[in-house]
Structure 1
Amino acid sequence: MEEGEVTRPPPKPAAVPEDQSIAKANEAIAIRPKRGRLTLLSRRIYNALLYHSQRQGVDEPVYRLALSELIGDARFNSNNTELLKSHLRDMQATTIEWSTSGSALKRWVSSQLLGTVTIEEQGRGRPCMVTWRYPDEIRERLVKPHQYTRVLLEISGQMRSYPAAVLYEIGARYLTSPSRLSMREDVLWWAAVLTGRSDITEVDYRFLKRDVISKALAEIEALCEDFSLELIEHKRGRRIEEIQFRVVPKVQQRLGAADDPSRNVFDLELVGKLIALGMKQDEAQDLYASTDEGQLRGTLEHVEQRLRNQSLPVLKSPAAYFKDALKKGYAGVKGPIPPAALSLPPSARPAAALTGGERMHRIRELWEHDRMQKAKALYLEMPEPMQSEMRSRFETERLGEIAAPIARAWRRDGPGSRIAATTFHRWLAKITWPEEPSDRGLLDFALAQGVAGM
């Protein structure tokens, strides 16, 4: 690091931006669809649209936003607008019911979740725009609700499964209630709410608890800093008929599994590749939410290499082949296939190459990770006065721009916080080595690391 880089006076503090949060109507949190199905991505997109609708105001009948901004706020990455359109269609096809009761009025409304949506491609050099409407009957209740819960997009976007995303919002709603107890409903109701499905007619509670509830509670425990949730079961005889959740504030707050917010970006392009193999959209998204991305990518490489090999018989079901390879753990295997792989087609070979674009993307990820690790090592080698100066500079330049939970974690634990340390070391790497690498530089890095042939 240049001496002047450390000792130059920090710039004046920037204005602290407002938390990227939405005032979500309480009726829109535990949605039980009457028709259609909601997914994790559709919920993320819906929250992002609602956030921008509230910023633009209830008086606007039509809302408008650059598509790139929607993609960023919904935390997925893909250039495939067809997949995005499919999730927008899901929301338009999903029917929800709103019920309100007053001293003299009871009102029931059945409505779409989202109205007309338009995507406008305006030509070279101009941003692609998305416009949307809400059904008139519920627009004001969504955009300017009287009873609502504050939901942070940053935390909501970290959830990797639909049930966890729902439970996070339910927990946020009841965190400030006197009893801290959620609604108490029957098992069938919860199954529909936690899966986003409208076609559930019967439920085996043992499987719901094992496959949906327990996994979602573990995800909340790992990713949510403010509270955890406890399951409460209500029996009739020996049968569990109803359940609810108790919200438990975290005294010793932690975000152990959220080391790197970039891990929680939903890679829609990867999901699209799974669908292209022959999987159904819901199956591909569920698999993505429950499986390590690196393992998915490695297995996909293996299957794509097998599909390209014209000397072998054509695969009748690439999707089934993929799931078998994923189950047996042959993602990214190089060299001869081990004996256990003989249960796969005998002449199958593991993946040996990526496309050019995928290879450069992977190398850049490795380069950024390597640079961040070097920045971490550099910080540990600094004398304490210099470390203190870098922490102060980080707080001046960066702290006001990051999400409130990460900022709180930094104020509490500094570089000792796992999630805040990642943000700090990434910032330190950027100010220490501000130049972006050229393609030639990335290839030189790959050669030096021995990963150029990945």
Structure 2
Amino acid sequence: MAKANEAIAIRPKRGRLTLLSRRIYNALLYHSQRQGVDEPVYQLPLSELIGDARFNSNNTELLKAHLRDMQATTIEWSTSGPALRRWVSTQLLGTVTIEEQGRGRPCMVTWRYPDEIKERLVKPHQYTRVLLEISGQMRSYSAAVLYEIGARYLTSPGRLSMREDVLWWAAVLTGRSDIKEVDYRFLKRDVISKALAEIDALCEDFSIELIEHKRGRKIEEIQFRVVPKVQQRLGDISSADRNVFDLELVGRLIALGIKQEEAQDLYAITDEGQIRATLDHVEQRLRNAAMPELKSPAAYFKDALKKGYAGLKALPPTAGAAAAPGAPAPATPAQPAAAPALSEGERMRRILELWENARMVQARALYAEMPEADQAQVRARFEADRLDLLAAPIARAWRREGPASRIAASSFHKWLAQDTWPQEPNEKALLAFALERGVTGM
């Protein structure tokens, strides 16, 4: 996809952008460019948009919510030339229609862009090649933005990004328009450093370095340097270090009632050991019959994670175990207010997300248990079926490292799961799965 340079570092003036809305926007832009700038509107089967955006859900209401967010997001677009300076304030996306055409016919999505920026988006003069396959693997909004910035400046002479003040970068890297002031220490710790680590783990072509510019003792402005990776370095990294996305850990988050997209974002921005310890704490709390029943395990988990509770205090003794005489009762996170009851459709969607995640985990385990000869046959079938469809960097990574590659492994395990268990689950099968996992009350 050729993405206009002005559309990479988007600073919303109203509204908020999320990781999924950015993926959807990129997918829409990709198909708009394929259909051509002369088209008054653009159209696509909804299932294709969902697949390209790595949406992993058939929940149309959730998709509509993200589309509304993009329509409500106001951006400023500035251009300049020898004799002209032009400023435009406009929506990110124009009118969108989702049309269900009846039984046996695909559901279609139709969209348009504001006239003032349509040509610059669909047929840009200055643009950056952005690979949807790699951009879609970023697990946080800030990493997705920095990946596109890195792709833009990788081929520039100095490989240096724009230099802007801290507040500007905070809005760009979080997709938020409501930021009025920023404590740079927290922005660096919670957003920038984690995004840089994520890009270093998932992007094979380059890494990104932070450059800080001080005025006195205060850091006023920052920019980024793009550093091409020496490909031979990857051979020195162990397979365990390469497989950075722990599907089982994400599955445990979903089982608590956290949505898949939120679980993945949470995993991306939080220390893995902290998540694991907090999960162990919450699961132990759920098993403790001496304590009141948790009305919202997901809210309890977030509260415990925020307060670092798992690393500070132990749970009260489980039923049947006596506390030490005179010992004060350990504090616990405040019981969250009861979460609103989920609709049947939302509950089934969460179960489906958990089922899909579990199936990928099973596929990975299945491959690991195969004899070497069988593994070679599976890899050969994957290459015959999918290798030509992969983006060039992912295909190169596969040829060099196979399933051990950071960016190729997810494509392989997803294919293996679909190839091994091609039948999609019906509602009865999903409910049986949920009963087995004890997640029907999410």
TM range (shorter): 0.7 to 0.9
User: Please, which moves more after superposition, 255-264 or 62-71?
Assistant: 255-264
Query: What is the distance in 2 between the residues matched to 1:212 and 1:159?
Result: 13
Partner of 1:374: 366
Structure 2: which amino acid aligns with 1:112? Q
Query: What is the distance in 1 between the residues matched to 2:354 and 2:254?
Result: 13
Deviation of 1:142 after TM superposition, in Å, equals 0.2
Q: 49, 63, 68: which one pairs with 2:47? A: 68
Partner of 1:343: 332
User: Please, which moves more after superposition, 182-191 or 410-419?
Assistant: 410-419
1:412 aligns with 2:400: yes
Kindly report which structure 2 residues correspond to 1:258-337, keeping only aligned pairs within 5 A, or say none: 259=243, 287=266, 289-290=268-269, 321-326=300-305, 328=309, 336=318
Structure 2: which amino acid aligns with 1:134? Y
Deviation of 1:147 after TM superposition, in Å, equals 0.3
Partner of 2:343: none
Q: 204, 210, 213: which one pairs with 2:183? A: 204
Partner of 2:230: 251
Deviation of 1:228 after TM superposition, in Å, equals 0.2
| SS of residue paired to 1:170 | helix
Partner of 2:99: 120
Q: Which has the higher contact order (CA 8 A, sep 6+)?
A: 1
Partner of 2:390: 402
Partner of 1:227: 206
Query: What is the distance in 2 between the residues matched to 1:111 and 1:220?
Result: 30
- Please give the root-mean-square deviation of Cα atoms over the aligned residues, in Å: 4.7
Q: 73, 78, 95: which one pairs with 2:57? A: 78
What is the percentage of aligned positions where both structures have the same residue? 68
Contact 1:260 / 1:419 at 8 angstroms: preserved in 2?
no
Deviation of 1:413 after TM superposition, in Å, equals 2.8
The 1:88–1:359 alpha-carbon spacing in structure 2 relative to 1, beyond 3 Å, is: closer
Structure 2: which amino acid aligns with 1:400? D
Query: What is the distance in 1 between the residues matched to 2:401 and 2:133?
Result: 20
Q: 148, 154, 175: which one pairs with 2:133? A: 154
Unpaired runs of 5+ residues, structure 1, are 1-21, 276-280, 347-354
Contact 2:397 / 2:408 at 8 angstroms: preserved in 1?
yes
Q: Tell me the alpha carbon deviations over residues 290-326 of structure 1, each in whole angstroms, 9 at most, x when there is no partner.
A: 35799699799979x89xx9x96996x8875342355
| SS of residue paired to 1:164 | helix
The 1:241–1:290 alpha-carbon spacing in structure 2 relative to 1, beyond 3 Å, is: closer
1:99 aligns with 2:78: yes
Deviation of 1:129 after TM superposition, in Å, equals 1.7
Query: What is the distance in 2 between the residues matched to 1:294 and 1:342?
Result: 20
**TM-score, normalized by length of structure 2?**
0.74
| SS of residue paired to 2:370 | helix
Q: 104, 113, 122: which one pairs with 1:134? A: 113
The 1:60–1:370 alpha-carbon spacing in structure 2 relative to 1, beyond 3 Å, is: same
The 1:221–1:128 alpha-carbon spacing in structure 2 relative to 1, beyond 3 Å, is: same
**TM-score, normalized by length of structure 1?**
0.72
1:144 aligns with 2:123: yes
Unpaired runs of 5+ residues, structure 2, are 324-328, 336-346
Partner of 1:351: none
The 1:228–1:85 alpha-carbon spacing in structure 2 relative to 1, beyond 3 Å, is: same
| SS of residue paired to 2:12 | coil
Partner of 2:151: 172
Q: Tell me the alpha carbon deviations over residues 52-95 of structure 1, each in whole angstroms, 9 at most, x when there is no partner.
A: 11111111111111222211111123333232222212211211
Q: Tell me the alpha carbon deviations over residues 120-148 of structure 1, each in whole angstroms, 9 at most, x when there is no partner.
A: 22333332221111000100100000000
Q: Tell me the alpha carbon deviations over residues 26-47 of structure 1, each in whole angstroms, 9 at most, x when there is no partner.
A: 0000111122221212111111
The 1:41–1:343 alpha-carbon spacing in structure 2 relative to 1, beyond 3 Å, is: same
What is the total number of aligned residue pairs between the two structures?
A: 401
Query: What is the distance in 2 between the residues matched to 1:301 and 1:220?
Result: 30
| SS of residue paired to 1:198 | coil
Partner of 1:57: 36
